[in-house]
Amino acid sequence: MSTKKLRRYTKQRRLVHDAIINRTDHPTAKEIFNELKPSGIGIATVYRQLAAMVEDGILATVDYDSETRYDPLTSPHAHIVCSVCNRISDIELPRDVNDLAPENLGFEVNEIELTWKGICNNCQ
């Protein structure tokens, strides 16, 4: 059924992959583009490759401040966002959060999105 789409191993695919795969700071497409600019890559390609990686389950997306950010951590987890430095950090999802699912409404849960907003240690 869900056969993974065949991807060509282009130079650009490797560039984007290597630029994001070990990041924990949830960069935007623009940020990745700026870092890869010296290679001559086009910004549309950066958007395309990031979208492809999301489609392939290699990246997750985090929407924040009207921008899509990318996260190589795809297993379920929560985020904490500092409203001062705008840093987004991954954090363990509370185990009991699954027990809190709204099953009573007959809602079939596929995904949980949990974000704590506030001020981080550094910015206080």
Partner DNA sequence: TTTGTTATTGATAACCAATATCATTAAATT
Partner DNA sequence: AATTTAATGATATTGGTTATCAATAACAAA
Rounded CA separation 52/114 (Å): 25
Smallest CA-to-CA distance from 54 within 31, 90, 20 is with 20
Nearer to a second copy among residue 73 and residue 101 (C-beta): 101
Give residue for tokens 């789409």. 5
Could you say which DSSP state residue 25 is in? Answer: S
What is the sign, positive or negative, of the torsion defined by CA atoms of 96, 56, 16, 43? negative
Q: Which residues bind DNA (CB under 7 A)?
A: 6-13, 28-30, 40-45, 47-49, 51-52, 66-68
Closest distance between a second copy and the C-beta of residue 26, in Å? Answer: 15
Q: Which residues bind a second copy (CB under 8 A)?
A: 63, 66, 80, 82-83, 91, 94, 96-97, 100-102, 105-121, 124
Nearer to a second copy among residue 43 and residue 112 (C-beta): 112
Q: Which of a second copy, DNA, none sits in contact with 58, Cβ below 5 to 8 A by type?
A: none
